[in-house]
Amino acid sequence: MAYDFPNSPSLGQVANGYVWDGEKWMRAGPLPGPVVATKKNYIINGAMMISQEWGMASFTVSLGYPVDQFIIGFVHGGTCTYAQVASATPGGSPNRIRYIATAADTSVAASDAVYIKTPIEGLRTADLRFGSVSAKTITIQFGVKAPAGTYCVGVLNGAVNRSYVVEYVIAAGEANTDVVKSVTIPGDTTGTWAVDNTAGLNVFWSLMAGTSNQQAAGSWAATAIFASPNQFNFMGTINNVFELFDVSLTEGTVAPPFQVPDYASELALCQRYYQQSFEPGGIAAAGFIEFDWAASAAGTLGGGSIILSPTMRSAPAVNVYDVAGNPNLITVINAGGALTNGQTFNQLTATPKNLRLRLYSIAGAVGLAFQYRVSARL
Amino acid sequence: MADYQLTASEEPCAVIRDSDKACIPPDMANRDYNGDAMQPGYIQWKEAGGVPDAYVEPPPPEPAPPTTEQQILYDHENRVRALEGEPPLDLDEFVKQLSG
């Protein structure tokens, strides 16, 4: 049997069960046999299961995190809502993120944009060797459910001055159904790609892009662009729905089938970037953090430290709330246990490893209570 | 009111973001402090001409109320001083002398 391969294949092109890696044809998909090697998925929370901050609450404003590690930004004349939703995916995850156009914007202004972005820490992507002659080819695989059209996906460095855009098509027959798409991107041999605790690589999906956010697909550019001129205007029709799920970024030209990660392990990975002391969606009066001291020492300096586990990516930004949920205030515990909300505190410091809060002398106080959230997001 | 307020009289120092009262450390690796064009942080806000509100000294600590033991000692001391024809001591001054 003879195979007929294209004479001038493009990178990632598949023919006869083989994929062109830029130099040679490689078998597409796993090798036959009982042992299938797994690959490192550089994406954290690609199963969209972890949503520490808001749970399944909906957003209507830009730059919210419907799930950990995934941020949605937009500039347009319409309105939208987005959230983590419970909806089983082909890869087996119980969750995905969903973005809905609740008021259309049919006229795309130059600066208009809708994007979903997930940043990856440089320490995690260092082995991809971007910015060197040894840069590795990567493949982004993701599940998507969207109206028919041409969309864009790509990568951007942490310094937001190197970007690569790839188009993918939702055909008419694929519209509004779960499909798995895969794009391959050659590693960038130039540019600055962080290999420390700052953003090494951003992956983005574009839903709308004005001319200021467009560049030709298929090549590296010294820009911060995330779409091509062919980008579909997802916001053009009210009630359009875009869903993203089962996301992986792996080295090489072929992605393995998506594997839902262990929940506890993935939660720990997410907590390197974000943690909070309360359940998703709001401050709970129960379960607050409490520092107590002996009644005989009442009125003297009070406070304490919390070990942040796991160690965070950087010194985090800290929000402190009293038990009633008032920001930047704490609750004083009085002798006998009565709580007084609305108390200002005197010192708040945070390192990647701990959080320390101090209250100077308050007459009658025998303790303090509060809730907190810490963010070292990229 | 500006978008940020300093927490010390000189920078670099942590800043309080007015929108959510987050305390943001002066760490260039922290996105809220040093963001980028897509997600500006405090540094980008300042570079765009933003001027933070000045640091406001927190109120001094309240003096600690005397313990029962200190109060008993204070009352005893003043009874002795009264017998000796001396003027009574101020409570705060007496507590400071005990602590010293």
Taking only the tens place, the pLDDT of each residue in B62-81 is 666 677 788 888 999 999 99
Mutant choice from A116, A123, A212, A318 vs B, greatest count of B C-beta within 10 A: A318
pLDDT class for B35, splitting at 50, 70, 90?
very high
Q: Among the three residues A244, A270, A296, which one is the final residue of a domain in this structure?
A: A270
Residues of chain A in Cβ contact (below 8 Å) with chain B: 63, 71, 73, 117, 158-160, 196-199, 224, 296, 298-301, 313-320, 327-328, 344, 346, 348-350, 360-364, 375-378
* A223 → chain B, closest CA residue: B37
Q: Which two tokens stand for residue A62?
A: 């830009």
Task: Say whether residue B45 is in contact with chain A using an 8 A CB cutoff.
Answer: no
DSSP codes of every residue in A170-197: E-GGGTTS-EEEEEEEPPPSSS----SS
Residue A220 lies in a domain: yes
Determine the residue of chain B that is closest to A364 in CA distance. Answer: B65
- The per-residue pLDDT for A302 is 83
Kindly report the nearest CA distance between residue A315 and chain B, in angstroms: 6
**Pairing label, strands A70-75, A113-121:** antiparallel
Q: Examine the domain organization and report whether A155 and A234 are in the same domain.
A: yes
Q: Among A75-84, A118-127, B79-88, which is the least confidently predicted range?
A: B79-88
* Mean pLDDT on B19-45: 93
A288 contact partners, CB below 8 Å, separation of at least 6: A277, A278, A323, A331, A369, A370, A371
Q: Report ipTM for this prediction.
A: 0.79
pLDDT band at A336 (very low <50, low <70, confident <90, very high): confident
Q: Which of A20-24, A274-278, A372-376 has the lowest mean pLDDT?
A: A20-24
Contact list in A for residue B31 (CB cut-off 8 A) is 199, 376-378
User: Is B1 an interface residue toward A (CB < 8 Å)?
Assistant: no
Is residue A200 one of the residues assigned to a domain?
Answer: yes
Q: How does DSSP assign A84-112, residue by residue?
A: EEE---TTS-SEEEEEEEEE---S--TT-
In DSSP notation, A242-286 reads EEEEEEEEEESS-PPPP-PPPHHHHHHHHHTTEEESS-TTS--SS
Does one domain contain both A293 and A199? no
Domain shared by A129 and A150, yes or no: yes
- Mean pLDDT over A261-281 rounds to 95
Chain A interface disruption, residue of B27, B62, B67, most A CBs within 10 A: B27
Residue A168, C-beta contacts closer than 8 angstroms, at least 6 positions apart? A150, A151, A152, A153, A181, A183
A225 with A312, same domain: the answer is no
In Å, how far is A254's CA from the nearest CA of chain B?
Answer: 30
Per the CB < 8 A criterion, the answer to whether A26 and A255 are in contact is no
Contact flag B23-A73 (C-beta cutoff 8 Å): no
- pLDDT-derived band at B24 (thresholds 50, 70, 90) equals very high
pLDDT in tens, B47-63: 999 999 999 887 766 66
**Residue range A26-41, pLDDT digits in tens:** 777 655 555 555 799 9
Cα(A66)–Cα(A51) distance, rounded to whole angstroms?
A: 7
Is residue A55 included in any domain, yes or no?
Answer: no
Closest CA to A295 of B33, B100, B65, B43: B65
- Looking at the structure of chain A, the number of domains it has is 3
Confidence at residue A24, expressed as pLDDT on a 0 to 100 scale: 78
Burial A79-92 (b: 16+ CB within 10 A, else e): ebebbbbebebebe
Taking CA B45 as the corner, what is the angle to CA B40 and CA B50, rounded to the nearest 5 degrees?
Answer: 165
Highest mean pLDDT range out of A289-293, A302-306, A316-320, A366-370?
A316-320
| Residues A168 and A299 occupy one common structural domain | no
* Pair A285, A264 in one domain: no
The mean predicted confidence, pLDDT, of chain A is 92
- Of B12, B33, B23, B28, nearest to A197 by C-alpha is B28
Is the residue at A362 inside a domain?
Answer: yes
A299 pLDDT above the threshold of 90: no
What is the value of pTM for the model shown?
A: 0.84
Nearest to A140 by CA among A206, A189, A63: A206
CB atoms within 10 A of CB A31: 8
At residue A282, the pLDDT reads 77
Whether A185 maps to a domain, the answer reads: yes
pLDDT at B37: 82
What confidence tens digit (pLDDT) does each residue in A194-229 have? 999 999 999 999 999 999 999 999 999 999 999 999
- Write the pLDDT tens digit of every residue in A52-85: 999 999 999 999 999 999 999 999 999 999 999 9
* Boundary-marking domain end, from A230, A250, A270: A270
User: How many angstroms away from the CA of B28 is the closest CA of chain A?
Assistant: 9
**Cβ neighbours of A348 in B, within 8 Å:** 14, 23
Residue reference for tokens 């405090």: B42
Instruction: Identify whether A106 is part of a domain.
Output: yes
Q: Is the dihedral of CA B40, B44, B50, B53 positive or negative?
A: positive
Q: Domain boundary at A270, A302, A325, which?
A: A270
Long-range contacts of A30-36 (CB under 8 A, 24+ apart): A30/A256, A30/A257, A36/A256
CB neighbours (10 Å) of residue B79?
A: 11
Are A84 and A193 members of one domain? yes
| A101 and A244 fall within a common domain | yes
pLDDT at residue A294, rounded to an integer: 74
Q: Domain range holding A27?
A: 1-38
Which residue from A160, A360, A376 is facing B30, i.e. has the nearest CB?
A: A376
Residues A134 and A213 in one domain: yes
pLDDT (mean) for A258-275:
97
Whole-number Cα distances in Å, A165 to A117, A284, B36? 13, 43, 20
3-state DSSP assignment of residue A64: strand
Q: CA-CA distance, A225 to A213, in Å (whole number)?
A: 5
Asked if B29 and A198 come within 8 Å (Cβ–Cβ), the reply is yes
What is the pLDDT at residue A38?
Answer: 79
Torsion of CA A103, A108, A110, A115, to 10 degrees: 60
A44 falls within a domain: no
- Kindly state whether residue A53 falls inside one of the protein's structural domains: no
Residues A34 and A102 in one domain: no
Where does residue B76 rank: exposed (0-12), middle (13-18), buried (19+ CB within 10 A)? Answer: exposed
CB contact under 8 A, B25 and A327: no
> Would the pLDDT of A94 be above 80?
yes
Instruction: Kindly tell me if the per-residue pLDDT of A370 is higher than 90.
Output: yes
A158 and A218, same domain (yes or no): yes
pLDDT reading at A126 higher than 70: yes
A316 pLDDT band (50/70/90 cuts)?
Answer: very high
First to last CA, chain A: 52
Which has more confidence, A125 or B64? A125
Q: What is the DSSP letter of A326?
A: -
Of A53-62, A127-136, A312-321, B55-64, the poorest mean pLDDT is in B55-64
pLDDT mean over A267-277: 97
What's at A233, amino acid-wise?
N
Query: What residues of B are in contact with residue A327 (Cβ under 8 Å)?
Result: 20-21
Same domain, A34 and A88: no
B47 CB-near residues (< 8 Å, 6+ apart): none
CA distances from B53 to A65, B49, B59 (A): 29, 13, 17
